[in-house]
Amino acid sequence: MLRLRVICSFSWRVFPFRPFSCEPLISQMDKCASEEQVFDLVERNKSTLSEKQVGYAFNILWQLQKQKTDLLKDVRCIRDHPQFPSLHSLTINKIKLMDDDTLVDVLHITQQFAVEAHDALVEALVMEAWRRLERFDINVLSKFSTCLADQHLYLSPLMGEIADIVHRNLEDIQDLRSLSVLMVNISSLISSRFQDQLVKKTELLFDTINCSDINIARRIVQFLRNANFSYYPLLEKCNKLFLSSMSHLDLESISKILGLYYSLQFHSFEFLVTVKKRLTEMALPFDNPASFVKLFVALGPIAGLEERKRLKSTLLLMSEELTSQQVLAVVGAMKEMESRNSHLNKKIASILHKHLDKYKPVELLKITHALISLQFRSKELFVKLRELLLSYLKTSVIPSEISVLVHALSMLPSSYVDEAAIARVDAVLPCCDLTELNDFATSVLRWIQYDHVYSDSIRGKQLKLLQKLDYYGCQRLQQSNSLDRLWKELKVLKGDWFLEVLLEDTFAALQRFMDEINYTNVAEIASFISKTSYLSASLLDRIASVVVQQIEKIHPFAILAVILPFSTLNYDPPQREEFFGTCMQRLNSYLGVLDPLVLVFLGFSLATVEYFPEDLLKAIFNIKFLARLDSQLEILPSSLSARIQFRLMELNRAVCLECPELQIPWFHDSFCQQQYNKDIGSMNGARQKIFKMLAEVLGGVCYVRSSILTSYHHTVDFECILDKRKKPIPYGSPNTTLGKLPQMYWESSMQIAGSRLPPGAERIALEFLDSRAFCRNIPHLKGKSAMKKRHLEILGYRVIQISPFEWNSMALSTQEARMNYLREHIFGEGKS
């Protein structure tokens, strides 16, 4: 008996996976150290395995895979294992006996093993889950929705049923983790009303999560991105959580968050600065292309000069190892970085050329955009790109895809397309929304404008196509029946075709739905109006009314967008003081939170409409803020950085001239000198003709000066001086003191205002404005030109602003008529 015990003990140690073992099967699975041991255990016990044990076998196989490093991990090895068919058949037979958790877990793990969606096991698991759908708890339902999403079934009836279940049970859901998963997966199927309900529910539950729940916050941002909804209250909460958890964020998470922020156009200076520091500190293996590409894409656009050089050098070394998707991500980042490294650009382009056949139409458009932006020229690459785009165009029937292909084709150096391509576009026009129609029109206009190799028949077809685009665009606007639906298409429209053909109909549609403007859409609509330069008093009055009445529901991040059209279009609403005062009250508690660039744009926009809130100006004009602004300028694209610097100068100038009592110093002399030196150039032909006319009107060239630079860096087209008897005073007269530099001087405003001129004399500034200085629909002066007029008057000028509508009118079609016009404006009525 003792001898038998010893033999049994020995066999237990050497052969632990024997079918007659008394140890529970699940415990034996827990001890498995490899997939082979799991499969052997299943094979030996397949006649007695329960549904729970089958599910546990899948779980152990998945855990073993997850423990492997990326280099060793190969999920297909499970699917392709010779013993997998046995487990496969066994699982199909046990499906109906599985509990809900096990059923969905097995489906999830099966998909992780790269088992095809049409496989009998996957189909059986999905069908059984569908039958049980109504009884699933929220956790199981969320996991099942992810399984469907992995199969790209976002628009399937089954996902629709899940959305309906969430809708019916939303009030009872308290688990934000599961809800956030469901929100992402059903986002393609929900209505605007349901979207609002989900957002409000998320806000209520957000305080139940802690700083370690980074993935929940990321999914919330992803849902907002999917819904194309920049809901600032939630974005702000998620951003705060990311900032507080920065030490827990890995490269993968940071890359995803930056991509989502970019899509939502959500800017957080604090997040970018913190991310830059975090990424710079990361000790990543540069021999791993996948990790390096993520680092390059995330850090490159915000890196300093030395960091960029290091990143580009490393990229050059491993460029040959990049996959098609990695090089696509890299070229997008290089576009953001405005790369001018010709050697690197050529290398990346050659890698793209090698992978070009692997890309989808939308990816080919990204590549085309990037190559044009990087000023890259390669005849061979562009020829192949064009061939691929045309081959896709011949077979595509989806309007959005065709618009992408046509857009990409129109950007190529040789954008010639044949009649078949034009016919393809023509065929899908009745199915297109405004976005697609706008893309088509922009492309056709580009063909007509830049390519001169077409035959008359092709040119004629293009013009007919353009007429059809005009018709369908206007028809779609006129037939729109709700602001929500219209706005989804309108908010991305831009370009010459939209502005020249659809603008009137667009504003007519917006005015029809004016009552539907509320706190949820007022900021976006206001921003849209400011970009069009179209002045609609009724729409702006409605916007101002909504803001005053619903200001507590409008997030401070949105206030700049709300103010912009009033500033840009130089329009005061009836309740001007209440409107701007309400906006500032909403902003005051956020002055230390808003991005520096937002504060600069806010200050400038308000200064344009002669509104100078002291709290805002004090928040901007101090050493601490300007240091923060300098830090932000370092991580912004050069074009945006230059624009912000110029706006700060303009704000500084406005405050010095219009609010001297605030005693804010003028500190942009050096900056303005640099700008002036860049802009110096000779007068064009039209300006020379005007100069000659003015010289004749005034009595000689010594009485007029051109391209004058005043103090505070305002430029004046032409200047003259009249004495108290309205007679011109020649320059160089002892009665006037001018600067040493030709055609420019720098004096204090008090000196210019009259102390250096003879008693009763006046300095006259003549400004010949172009159409951009006026609203698009009426000859109403826009904000910047109106502000310049105020400033020149403060500096002592009498300002004559001449509009192009008058100067180029039939009434002034002759030189004599123009001369008389100038005399009347310079000398006053009755002067001949």
Indicate the pLDDT class of residue 754, thresholds 50, 70 and 90: very low
Task: State pLDDT tens for residues 88-105.
Answer: 899 999 999 999 999 999
The pLDDT, as a whole number, for residue 453 is 58
Mean pLDDT of 141-148: 96
What is the residue whose two structure tokens read 């139940």? 208
Is the pLDDT at 2 greater than 60, yes or no? no
Task: State pLDDT tens for residues 765-798.
Answer: 999 999 999 999 999 999 999 999 999 999 999 9
Mean pLDDT of the chain: 88
DSSP 637-678: -HHHHHHHHHHHHHHHHHHHHH-GGG-PPP--HHHHHHHHHH
Is the pLDDT at 599 greater than 60, yes or no? yes
The pLDDT, as a whole number, for residue 680 is 61
- 740 compared with 366, residue with greater pLDDT: 366
How far apart CA 259 and CA 461 sit, in angstroms, is 40
Count of H helices and E strands in the chain?
Answer: 43, 4
The pLDDT, as a whole number, for residue 451 is 62
- 577 compared with 828, residue with greater pLDDT: 577
Kindly state the tokens that stand for 489. 């298409």
Is the pLDDT at 730 greater than 80, yes or no? yes
Task: State pLDDT tens for residues 441-497.
Answer: 998 888 877 665 556 667 788 889 999 999 999 999 999 989 988 998 888 888 888
The pLDDT, as a whole number, for residue 33 is 86
How far apart CA 200 and CA 555 sit, in angstroms, is 14
Indicate the pLDDT class of residue 244, thresholds 50, 70 and 90: very high
Question: Could you give the C-alpha distances from 689 to 679, 683, 708, 719, in angstroms and in order?
Answer: 21, 10, 17, 15
Closest CA to 396 of 429, 373, 424, 438: 424
Kindly state the tokens that stand for 68. 């492997």
The pLDDT, as a whole number, for residue 375 is 86
Question: Which range, of 200-204, 411-415, 473-477, 616-620, averages the lowest pLDDT?
Answer: 411-415
Task: State pLDDT tens for residues 42-83.
Answer: 888 888 888 999 999 999 889 888 887 654 467 778 888 888
Return the C-alpha torsion angle 520, 526, 532, 533, nearest 10. Answer: 170
Closest CA to 569 of 610, 532, 519, 613: 532
Say how far residue 106 (Cα) sits from the centre of its chain.
Answer: 39
Per DSSP, the three-state class of 723 is coil
Mean pLDDT of 517-545: 96
Percent of the chain with pLDDT over 90: 66
The pLDDT, as a whole number, for residue 1 is 40
Question: Could you give the C-alpha distances from 96 to 86, 88, 93, 436, in angstroms and in order?
Answer: 18, 14, 8, 48
The pLDDT, as a whole number, for residue 71 is 46
The pLDDT, as a whole number, for residue 444 is 87
The backbone torsions φ and ψ at residue 784, rounded to the nearest 5 degrees and listed phi first, read -65, -40
Strands 762-768 and 797-802: parallel
Mean pLDDT of 563-587: 96
The pLDDT, as a whole number, for residue 602 is 97
- Contact between 676 and 709 under an 8 Å Cβ cutoff? The reply is yes
Mean pLDDT of 688-708: 93
Mean pLDDT of 535-558: 96
Question: Could you give the C-alpha distances from 73 to 42, 76, 369, in angstroms and in order?
Answer: 22, 9, 36
Is the pLDDT at 554 greater than 90, yes or no? yes
Task: State pLDDT tens for residues 337-350.
Answer: 988 888 999 999 99
Indicate the pLDDT class of residue 7, thresholds 50, 70 and 90: very low
Indicate the pLDDT class of residue 211, thresholds 50, 70 and 90: confident
The pLDDT, as a whole number, for residue 18 is 40
Question: Which range, of 150-159, 495-504, 688-697, averages the lowest pLDDT?
Answer: 495-504
The pLDDT, as a whole number, for residue 659 is 96
